[in-house]
Structure 1
Amino acid sequence: MHGPAPASGPADGTANAPHATGRYRRDIDGLRALAILPVLLFHAHVPGFSGGYVGVDIFFVISGYLITGIIAREVDDRRFSLARFYERRFRRIMPALALMIMAVLGCAAWLYLPGDLEGVPRSALAATLFASNLWFFTDTGYFSGGADVKPLLHTWSLAVEEQYYIGFPILLMLLARHAPRWRTGVVAAIAAGSLALAIVMQRDTSGFTFYLLPTRAWELFAGALLALGAAPVVRARWLREAIAGCGLVAIVLAVALYDRTTTFPGVTALPPVLGSAALIHAAPGTRIGRMLGWRPLVGLGLISYSLYLWHWPLIVFTEYATDLPLSGGTQVAVIAASLLAGTLSWRFVERPFRVSQRVPRRAIFLFTGAAMGLLCVMALALLAMGGWPSRFAPRVLAQMAGQQDFAPTRKSCHDTFMRNATPCMLGAAVPPDAMLWGDSHGVELVYALSLDAKAQGRSLIERTTSSCPPVLVYQAKDTRCAAANQAAYDAIRADPGIRRVYLAAFWANGVFDDTAFVRQLDRTIAAIRGLGRQVVLIGPVPPQPFDVPRRLAHLAQAGQLEQARGIDRAYVEARTGHLRALFARWQARGVSLIDPVAALCPTGTCAIERDGKPLYFDSHHLSTAGARWVIAAGR
């Protein structure tokens, strides 16, 4: 996450923080720039930066290196103070963070529709209390739907860092007192355990591996081990050049080759982490070190924390207001605005608060407490307003209500295999004669089918599993998909009463374009027909480039609801041509077809509303109204 949400900000001490020997290194500020640029360009959808989210890993390594160097040096000199440590953290983090959260609450209250607004104050509370990684772990995935309306999603990694720095200084203090010789070994052992856990859980789809400290700590520890002298000094110039070169290449390849489908973090986090560590350890005095010390890169590194804080809300609010992803002139404008906001925040917020003569210790603690209290009050007040629907006319709220028009059985009947629950039987209270087997796209469709079945005195079984298309031997990111699909097929084979099998999935999501996948689907259809069962293939649902209820609400707000248009039919057909090419052949073999494209796109563009109701509850899942229309048209 995975990912489109933001990576970590460089909240790793002062902008000119010294390294383990106490000397300022321009190349580390340049490395910050090498982290923030990919993050910014990835979130702005600039081609070539599909793996830009690895900037979080670079920042974690830098943070672990710089902060550990400071702590260890002060602990060894017996002058370390937790109060002074947290004073430095608050000076660095809170002023710019508090201003950004306050601005986000204000902008969201002005711009967001009720269903979208409710999550913002909750995330603001979590961000203020440095628990946003825990909140977003339970609320959304990094690359899942909904990230596009979460302007504080990027604060998750600040929470990871602050949770790390609650325990880590105490650990170093205890080791210095009781086991000074074991300090590096203990840190290395904890880092190895964290990395092992991240690798073991790398295919977990709950978000635990991505968001939570136990599987992220090793990245901070990688920098910490460098600061503690765990890596031997490299004296040979040629070897330092080689190590620095390899480190840079590892980062560049991860940024260029990774994307939203990459299993991350885990093993795939090793290249950016080790690459960053290699640059920190070997870059000084090398050609790459001099490149990282180039003034524009150093300047970008200096503003990287503020730039990080502001770029994501600017992107989210712009895309929300336009109902479109950034592109063209808008893309350039938002990137420029992010750079400007980052610069102003650094100059007028960050820098003044770092000067103890201007803001003494007592003042920074009072400011932090007051800012956190004010933000909590603002968030709670906004939360109590329940989305503040009175800001909008009834016609706007009616469209926005489409976000809740999903099957009432979705919570209880979807993903039963993953929950070890019994699959739902829908319709009349009689033995089932059909089954819908599919991914999350099948939930509303099976609900619509069940209404017809109940009216006819029939019933059917729902077996839907998120992100698992109904294809035998399909290798998904979640390895449990193969088991879920095999269980569905075995259930069909074991119950001769099931005479009809519906197959439904997000066929148009781009993942299934591979001809090898189509062959697997072909074999699955043949296998079901080989059992003597009828197959009904529910074809691709046209995906829209925007959240449909939100788009309709915006049009209703502007008095332009009659201009509601969906995606072009030609685009959908071209995107699913590999699948549609087999429709005639399958139908010739006795396979029935329900084609959502034919139902929703009778003309050149696809419908997104009918009779005043949204036909989708997000950008690609049919609402119950949409599903009922598709099923009725396919009779």
Structure 2
Amino acid sequence: MISNYRPDIDGLRAVAVLSVLFFHSGFTLFSGGYVGVDVFFVISGYLITNIVVREIDDCTFSIVNFYERRFRRLMPALMVVIFVSLAFGALLLTPTRLVDLGQSAVASTLFSSNILFYLESGYFGGAAETKPLLHTWSLAVEEQYYIFFPLLLIFIAKTGAKHYFKWLSSLSILSFIACVILTRENASAAFYWIPTRAWELFIGSMLALNSIAFPIRRIVREVSSLTGISMILTSVFMYSAETPFPGYAALLPTIGTALVIYSGAGGSSFVNRILSLKPLVFIGFISYSLYLWHWPIIVYTKLWFIKELTFNTVVVMLTFTAVVSILSWRYIESPFRRRALLNSKKSIYFGVFATSAVTITIGLIFILNDGFSERKFNNTSLISKKNDYKWLHWESCEDVTGRISNKRGLCEIGSNSGNAHFLLWGDSHARSIASGVHLSARSANLKGRIAAQTACPPLLTIERPNRDSCNNFNLKVMTLISETPDIKTVILAARWPLSVKGDRYKEEHGSYVKLIDTISPSNSMSNTELFKIGLGKTIEKLNRLGKRVVLINSVPEVGYDVPSALVVASINDRNVNSIIAPTKEEFKKRNYEVHSIFNELNKLAYVDVISIDEYLCDAGHCKVMIDGRPLYRDDDHLSTYGSEHLSPVFDKIFSDL
């Protein structure tokens, strides 16, 4: 086994952490900078295997000693970052996000945050980019690897043959196959789960076994190292949020990292010498602290400034991050690793368990107290996960396909008596206006039903690639309408501009929305064309059934989380409307194609259009708060208050029923 220190590997760490740092800081050049984590995985697999196999072969390996080293390396700085994140979270986060932070703190301490963030990766799990401890998912993957990997190596060694390479290569192939399949079927699972990420660490592990002869000839080293670093940089600069990942795409940075490590093991090369330069090596030294601190600093900086960060602000933020990381490395990481602090096994184990108990306790306090939802900001109490029972009610109505299939019936909306005479149909935006529609229909003594499914606008035959849930949902709803003659009016509501344009709004995070036609999925029509076709089919079918169709125009998108902005703005008495409220011109520009299509369809079919913006917007801006209360629960969905505030808009729908 190779045990000599390799400065080029620290330089490789620098490439990895800088890629992640610049990607998270919003530098578009580093659009694939997230692959830095994959580079770290290969390096970790290489270094850990190098140590563990050598000690097993020398009969000196000890699980207790192994975890002592891991604790000294990882836990002190991690605990400090968690404590600081909790402290700032208590000041700057909304109740809902404070609960999320409490859960993150508990999961991060227990090395299971990758599982938590996978479970929260759904549409209403909260924007991932606002979670201060989100980046700990990769530490959880590595720690889970450290738990089972030494035991696996011990088991292999006890078989007598010590066929490490055969075992690891077989497991790596199985892990990679699972990764490719899940990337296509469930990308979040493939991204966060250890079984689908283990192959990346196994690649580094196999390198450390010396089963492949290292390159002695200089030309081989030069070519392999240049190829490797080119593969890494290509993925950093050419990948983007739209790249299916990890899957096959993860091969480029991981194999590239393996080639750089492989070539450096055989001797010097140009790439090896560049990576061994002192500035890069130093960044490699502080890379763990830099990785730990950069994300909470970015999240809280964005929260504080509310709007998008200027270039100068980003530079100051990165400088501050570097200073904090150097101090963390110098005064937290290094003393524990050198045993200058808690120098015995007993003391480090006790210290880790004690601090872990404290972070878990604080996290549970945040969770059990519902993020202290009784707090007021500018004399306004914010909604939390528990106290908005109306939103929770409409959320519980979402399993529309299951309800229809099991003949349980859709949730009622409006009056409690009589037959249902209307249906509210759409995506989560239909759900977000449900409380307002409910009030208006109830005042008119009319009952209806609601059929809303997240991320599924009512566009017949139109779907997103590699899924069929929305098309199935829409077909079932249309069948239900055709079989229910009492339903005379169908109200269609959705986040229309997201489907038409495909891109998110302002500072909102999330993937690009691509539409396809399920009848001819190979067709290369634009989102706008497909949207028009899908909505046209929906309206045409409803017209043939003799139904009155009402289109609810788009709710103005904000692009910034309104409750979070209210919390931060309340600290120094800033006005949220003046900071983030979209202008009327911005709203018109964002919805230009939608309005054009609505107008065109209105000429071809019997359609009523209800314009919400006329009630929310004046000549200058579209308000996000009225009477000191937020109209939105996030950056684009109306809050229950906002929905009920709009209820008079819907009166014109029911006046003719």
Q: TM-score, normalised by structure 2?
A: 0.85
* CA contact 1:45–1:327 (8 Å) conserved in 2: no
Q: CA deviation at 1:304?
A: 0.5
1:575 equivalent to 2:590? Answer: yes
Matched, 1:463 2:433: no
For 1:276 and 1:287, the matched residues in 2 are separated by 15
Out of 38, 41, 45, which is 1:64 matched to? 45
- Determine if the alignment matches structure 1 residue 441 to structure 2 residue 424: no
**Does the residue aligned with 2:450 lie in a helix, a strand or coil?**
strand
Q: Which region of structure 1 is more displaced relative to structure 2, 606-615 or 480-489?
A: 480-489
| TM-superposed deviation, 1:555 | 4.0
Q: Which residue of 1 aligns with 2:247?
A: 266
Question: Which ranges of structure 2 fall in alignment gaps of 5 or more residues?
Answer: 504-512, 515-524, 653-657
Letter of the 1:363 counterpart:
S
Instruction: Note if 1:517 corresponds to 2:560.
Output: no
Contact 2:104–2:116 (8 Å) recurs in 1? yes
Q: Counterparts of 2:128 and 2:291 in 1: how far apart (Å)?
A: 16
Q: Secondary structure at the match of 2:241?
A: coil
Deviates more, 1:68-77 or 1:101-110: 101-110
CA distance in 2, matches of 1:596, 1:425: 24
Distance across 2 between alignment mates of 1:76 and 1:383: 47
Structure-1 separation of matches of 2:16 and 2:626: 46
Q: Is the 8 A contact 1:400 1:553 kept in 2?
A: no
Please point out which of 579, 590, 600 is paired with 1:585: 600
How far 1:302 moved relative to its partner? 1.0
Aligned to 1:244, what secondary structure does the other structure show?
Answer: helix
Letter of the 1:91 counterpart: R
Q: Give yes or no for contact 2:52–2:150 (8 Å, CA) kept in 1.
A: yes
Over residues 494-543 of structure 1, what are the superposed CA-to-partner deviations in whole Å (9 max), with x where a residue is unaligned? 55554443333223344169872222222223323432144333333222
1:506 aligns with: 495
**Structure 1 Cα separation of the partners of residues 171 and 133 of structure 2:** 30
Give the aligned residue type for 1:536.
V
Change in Cα spacing, 1:508 to 1:217, as seen in structure 2 (3 Å) is: same
| Deviates further, 566-575 or 226-235 | 226-235
1:434–1:460 Cα contact (<8 Å) kept = yes
Matches within 5 A, 1:301-380: 301-356=284-339, 359-380=343-364
Q: Aligned partners of 2:444, 2:492: CA distance in 1, in Å? A: 21
In structure 2, the residue matched to 1:5 is: none
Q: Which residue of 1 aligns with 2:554?
A: 540
SS of corresponding position for 2:456: coil
Greater shift, 301-310 or 325-334, is seen at 325-334
Secondary structure at the aligned position of 2:428 is classed as coil
**2:641: which partner in 1?**
625
Structure 1 residues 411-449: Cα deviation after superposition (integer angstroms, max 9, x where no partner): 311243389775624234555444333221221224433
Q: Aligned in 2, Cα 1:26/1:596: closer, same or farther, shift over 3 Å?
A: farther
User: Compared with structure 1, are the counterparts of its residues 177 and 432 closer, same or farther at alpha carbon in structure 2 (3 Å cutoff)?
Assistant: same
8 Å CA contact 1:596–1:630 kept in 2: the answer is yes
Is this contact kept in 1: 2:497–2:594, CA < 8 A? no
152-161 or 118-127: bigger deviation = 118-127
Letter in 1 for 2:150: P
> 1:526 aligned to 2:517?
no
Q: What residue identity is the alignment partner of 1:597?
A: D
Q: Quick one: distance in 2 between partners of 1:439 and 1:549?
A: 22
1:481 corresponds in structure 2 to 470
Is the 2:380–2:629 Cα contact (8 Å) retained in structure 1? Answer: no
Partner of 1:552: 566
Distance of 1:164 and 1:526 partners within structure 2: 52
- Tell me the TM-score normalized by structure 1: 0.88
RMSD: 3.1
State the 1:218 CA deviation. Answer: 1.6
Secondary structure (helix, strand or coil) at the match of 2:195 reads: helix
Partner of 2:172: 191
Distance between the aligned counterparts of 1:142 and 1:485, measured in 2?
Answer: 19
In the alignment, is residue 160 of structure 1 matched against residue 175 of structure 2? no
Change (3 A) 1:465 1:289: farther
**Which stretch has the larger CA shift, 366-375 or 568-577?**
366-375
* Aligned pairs (5 A) from 1:268-307: 268-283=249-264, 285-307=268-290
Asked if structure 1 preserves the Cα contact closer than 8 Å seen for 2:11 and 2:284, the reply is yes
Deviation at 1:336, TM superposition (A): 0.8
Output one character per residue of 1:443-497: Cα deviation in whole Å (capped at 9) or x when no partner: 1224433443344454444332222333323224645334334434444455555
Residue of structure 2 in register with 1:13 after alignment: none
Is this contact kept in 1: 2:555–2:636, CA < 8 A?
A: yes
* Alpha-carbon shift at residue 67 of structure 1 (Å): 0.4
One of 92, 110, 135 as aligned partner of 2:116: 135
Work out whether residues 550 and 607 of structure 2, in 8 Å CA contact, stay in contact via their aligned partners in 1: yes
Question: What code does the residue aligned with 1:442 have?
Answer: A
Identity %: 35
Aligned residues: 616
- Give how far 1:341 is off: 0.8
Are 1:44 and 1:326, in contact at CA under 8 Å, matched by a contact in 2? no
Cα deviation digits, residues 198-237 of structure 1 (max 9, x gap): 2222245583322221222222112112222454544554
Q: CA 1:552–1:101 in structure 2 vs 1: closer, same or farther (change >3 Å)?
A: closer
SS at match of 2:135: helix
> Is the Cα–Cα contact under 8 Å of residues 244 and 288 in structure 1 kept in the other structure?
yes
Any unmatched runs of 5+ in structure 1?
A: 1-19
Q: CA deviation at 1:80?
A: 1.2
1-structure distance, mates of 2:64, 2:327? 29
